[in-house]
Amino acid sequence: MIDESRAASTPDNREILRARARVLARPPQSIPAAETSLEVVEFRLAQECYALETRFVNVVYPLKDLTPLPCTQPFVLGIVNVRGRITPVIDIKKFFDLSDMGLTDLHRIILVRGNGLELGLLADVIVGVRIIPVDSLQASLPTHTGICDNYLKGMTAERLVVLDMDRILADPQILVHEEVEN
Amino acid sequence: MKWTVGTKIAAGFGLTLMIFLIVGGFSYHTTIQLIEVSDARKHTSDVLTQLTGMLSLLTDVENGDRGYVITGEESYLQPYHAALARLDPLRNMTAGNPHQQQRLHVLEPLVKNRVAVASANVDARRTKGVQAASAIIKSGKGKAFMDKIRKVLGTMQSEEEAILQTRVDRAETEAQNAKAIIVLGTLAALVLAAITGLIITRNIAGPLRQLTAVAERITVGDLSGSLPATTRGDEVGALARALERMTQSLRAMAAAAAQIASGDLRSALKPQSPDDIVGNAFARMSDDLRAQIGALAEGANVLGASASEIVASTNQLAASASESAAAVSEATTTVEEVRQTAQVANQKARLVSDSTHKAAQIAQTGRKAADDVVAGMNRIREQMEEIAASMVRLSEQSHAIGQIIATVEDLAAQSNLLAVNASIEAAKAGEHGKGFGVVAQEVKSLAEQSRQATSHVRAILGDIQKATSAAVMATEEGSKAVAAGTGQTEKAGDSIQALAGSVSEAAQAATQIAVSSQQQLVGVDQVGGAMESIKQASTQNVTGAKQLESAARNLNELGQQLRLMVARYQV
């Protein structure tokens, strides 16, 4: 141990350490301003990359103990108990009337709050939190996703579809209000 | 009386013999007389020697006497007693002569006296000494006696010598007479014998010589010699006449023989007498010869015919013998070749037997090797099973690893979620949550790294599982192959076993073949030896046939000659 500490003080070792430090050093990322950037949670759903703003996201959670609800819209998969709160789980693909595009392993939910609503969106993989410049967003081609532009904020060059959660949550379709006749 | 040769010889030799008898008688008579004379001479000389001996003895007595007187030695007295003993033989010798007897009568007392004197002298010397003895000697008594004795002895000697002289003269004259008679008689006998010999020679030996010459010529075979006719009555004449007769008969026989020789057997010779052996034999011979020649002619004809037949057949025989000899030599060569091939076959059979024995040993080793292979295959199968078991364990463990990886992935996903939530919370916290956001970012990147590692591990694990399954497949195939190999090796072992069996059978067969080929070789050798002897016999046959051929040809020639010869005879 003493030898190693002594060896570290030799000029060669010091040079090596400096070289390593240079390699490992990362330039500080210039954080864009809030007006010109969006902080989003990126997730994947059926080979597609989606994102939504973090201000709507409460928590991401693994999907467990899904209880299907009868007499609901097809996009409502069921309900889950998240920390003692009963939360409906919505499948965005069915909500957007997208055809099934391959297999999915739905085992993540993103709990979203807004407009007095709290619900879980199904996701395959939660990629993580990203900061997207607003000017990089473009209007998506309608043929591409089949999601109407009303629910989209835009699309990045990497084909990341950024959802507009305000509009989705404000959509009256999402409200489940049915009465079951006896 | 007839004067034969015997009487002539007897007369001649009888005369000679008579003369020789007369001469012999004379010679005998004279010889006897000479013997008598020589005896008388011997007697006389004996008497003389006795006399001289007497004298010398007496002289010795005298000398001894004197010697004793002088010396006194007793040994000088020995001659005494010998002197008296001499008288008796003298008396006997001169018994036929009265004069000498008288003289002896005179001599005897003289001698006695002389001896007495000597003895007295000796006694005197013994008793009285030298002086008395010498006195006696000096008296001269002894000397007187000695002188008388000498005288008497001298007269006796002269008497004897005179007698001897007369005898010698008479013997001389008689010997002369005998010599003359012997010489003359012998000469006369010789002359007579010569005359007789001459007469006999002239009368007997001459004609005998002539006869002998004739007989010699007859023995040589010359019968031309003739004797003059004699009228002699003795044996020589008879011999000449007999010889003449013999010559004539021999001539007749010779003529007959010449006739027979010329081939004319018709004449018959009469024998001279029943005892005429040669004549009888000749007659018999000519008769027999006639018969034999007749038979011989027939025989010669037969012989000629059969000889020519024999010649033909011997020609054929010789030809066939040479052909058969050629064939036999070819057969011998063939047998020799067969023998060589049999030898080669025997060697090959031995080689084959050796190689089959080796092959049997090799098959045995092969069977052992096959058993070893089966054992090895079994070991391989066991190891394969062990490998399969370890593969199963490996797959189980990889399954466990997969579970662990799943857990790790789960953990990574959860930590990812946590990181996302943390970053969300940090975003909510605004300015204060920025550091926390960084931490959350780091946690997320860690989770991402662990996820990547797990996916890496999963990929590796997938590879491992693929490899394992491949290995399992391979081991299954391997165990199948091993099972197949075991089966094959068992089959191979069985086939090697069968091969070993058949090879050992082949070895036995090869051994039997070698033995039988050996026997065959021996047999072929015997056949070769037999063929060799046959060949020799056939060679001998050929030579014999050739000899036979030449003999037959000679026989044929002989037969032809015989025929020709027989044809000359006129029977």
Query: DSSP string of A21-90?
Result: HHHH--PPP-PPPTTTEEEEEEEEETTEEEEEETTTEEEEEE--S-EE-SSS-TTEEEEEEETTEEEEEE
Q: Convert B303-338 into a string of H (helix), E (strand) and C (coil).
A: HHHHHHHHHHHHHHHHHHHHHHHHHHHHHHHHHHHH
Test mutation, B411, B421, B436, chain A, max A CBs within 10 A: B421
Given pLDDT bands bounded at 50, 70 and 90, which one contains residue B77? low
Whether the pLDDT of residue B410 is over 60: the answer is yes
Given pLDDT bands bounded at 50, 70 and 90, which one contains residue A108? confident
Q: Which residue has the higher pLDDT, B80 or B70?
A: B70
Q: Could you say which of A39, A55, A126 has the minimum Cβ distance to residue B420?
A: A126
Beta carbons of A168 and A151 less than 8 angstroms apart: yes
- Residue B271's nearest CA partner among B252, B289, B295, B257 is B252
Q: Which of A16-30, B369-383, B471-485 has the lowest mean pLDDT?
A: A16-30
Q: Could you say which of A57, A62, A108 has the minimum Cβ distance to residue B424?
A: A57
Contacts of B420 in chain A (CB under 8 A): 41, 60, 126, 128-129
Residue contact A41–B420, C-beta within 8 A:
yes
Extract the tokens encoding A19. 């070289």
**What is the distance in angstroms between the Cα of B417 and the nearest Cα belonging to chain A?**
6
Contacts of B414 in chain A (CB under 8 A): 62
pLDDT of residue B55: 81
pLDDT of residue B111: 78
Q: Quick: pLDDT tens for B85-95.
A: 666 777 777 77
pLDDT of residue A1: 47
Contacts of A38 in chain B (CB under 8 A): none
Specify the pairing of strand A48-53 against strand A37-45. Answer: antiparallel
Residue contact B413–A62, C-beta within 8 A:
yes
Extract the tokens encoding B502. 């058949």
SS3 B528: helix
CB burial readout B510-549, b (16+ within 10 A) else e: bbebbeebeebbeebeebbeebeebbeebeebbeebeebb
- Rounded Cα distance between B11 and B200, Å, is 11
**What is the distance in angstroms between the Cα of B398 and the nearest Cα belonging to chain A?**
24
Shortest CA distance from A123: residue in chain B: B417
- Rounded Cα distance between B56 and B387, Å, is 169
- Rounded Cα distance between A69 and A80, Å, is 10
Q: Which of B84-98, B205-219, B393-407, B457-471 has the lowest mean pLDDT?
A: B84-98
Test mutation, A41, A60, A108, A109, chain B, max B CBs within 10 A: A60
Beta carbons of B427 and B433 less than 8 angstroms apart: yes
Q: Is A119 on the interface with B (CB under 8 A)?
A: no
Phi/psi at B274 (5° precision): -60, -25
- Residue B363's nearest CA partner among B231, B468, B500, B563 is B500
Shortest CA distance from A58: residue in chain B: B424
**What is the distance in angstroms between the Cα of A109 and the nearest Cα belonging to chain B?**
10
pLDDT of residue A16: 92
Whether the pLDDT of residue B473 is over 70: the answer is yes
**What is the distance in angstroms between the Cα of A15 and the nearest Cα belonging to chain B?**
28
Q: Is A106 on the interface with B (CB under 8 A)?
A: no
Looking at chain B, the whole-number percentage of residues with pLDDT higher than 70 is 97
Beta carbons of B342 and B524 less than 8 angstroms apart: yes
- Rounded Cα distance between B323 and B328, Å, is 8
Q: Which of A89-93, B65-69, B244-248, B388-392 has the lowest mean pLDDT?
A: B65-69
Counting every residue, how long is chain B? 571
pLDDT of residue A35: 63
pLDDT of residue A6: 53
Residue contact B419–A108, C-beta within 8 A:
no
Residue contact A61–B417, C-beta within 8 A:
yes
Shortest CA distance from B411: residue in chain A: A62
Residue contact A59–B427, C-beta within 8 A:
no
Phi/psi at A65 (5° precision): 50, 50
Q: Is A108 on the interface with B (CB under 8 A)?
A: yes
Whether the pLDDT of residue A7 is over 60: the answer is no
Which of A13-17, A147-151, B489-493 is most confident? Answer: A13-17
CB atoms within 10 A of CB B349: 22
Residue contact A60–B421, C-beta within 8 A:
yes
- Rounded Cα distance between B555 and B310, Å, is 9
Q: Quick: pLDDT tens for B514-566.
A: 888 889 888 888 988 888 898 888 888 888 888 888 888 888 888 888 888 88
Looking at chain A, the whole-number percentage of residues with pLDDT higher than 70 is 75
Whole-number mean pLDDT of chain B? Answer: 83
SS3 B135: helix
Q: List the A67-68 sheet strands across, edge first.
A: A57-62, A108-114, A117-123, A85-90, A76-82, A67-68
Q: Could you say which of A39, A55, A128 has the minimum Cβ distance to residue B420?
A: A128
**What is the distance in angstroms between the Cα of A100 and the nearest Cα belonging to chain B?**
25
pLDDT of residue A128: 82
Give the rounded distance of the alpha carbon of B133 from its chain centre: 100
SS3 B391: helix
Counting beta carbons within 10 angstroms of the beta carbon of residue B419, is it exposed (0 to 12), middle (13 to 18) or buried (19 or more)? buried
- Rounded Cα distance between B511 and B346, Å, is 11
Residue contact A54–B420, C-beta within 8 A:
no
Q: Is A57 on the interface with B (CB under 8 A)?
A: yes
Q: Quick: pLDDT tens for B423-461.
A: 888 888 878 888 888 888 888 888 888 888 888 988 998
Residue contact A129–B424, C-beta within 8 A:
yes
Whether the pLDDT of residue B408 is over 50: the answer is yes
Extract the tokens encoding B568. 């000359």
**What is the distance in angstroms between the Cα of A110 and the nearest Cα belonging to chain B?**
10
Residue contact B444–A128, C-beta within 8 A:
yes
SS3 A163: strand
Residue contact B420–A55, C-beta within 8 A:
no
pLDDT of residue A9: 61
Q: How many CB pairs under 8 A join A and B?
A: 37
Q: Which residues contact B353 (CB under 8 A, 6 or more apart)?
A: B507, B510, B511, B513, B514
pLDDT of residue A17: 92
Q: Which of A140-149, B68-77, B139-148, B380-389 has the lowest mean pLDDT?
A: A140-149
Beta carbons of B177 and B27 less than 8 angstroms apart: no
Q: Which of A131-135, B170-174, B226-230, B302-306 has the lowest mean pLDDT?
A: B226-230
- Residue A129's nearest CA partner among B431, B409, B443, B454 is B443
**CA triple B265-B267-B272, angle to 5 deg:** 120
Q: Quick: pLDDT tens for B307-363.
A: 888 888 888 888 888 888 888 888 888 888 888 888 898 888 889 888 888 888 888
Taking residues A107-136, what's their average pLDDT? 84
Contacts of B440 in chain A (CB under 8 A): 129
Please report, as a single letter, which amino acid is at residue B372: D
Residue contact A60–B423, C-beta within 8 A:
no
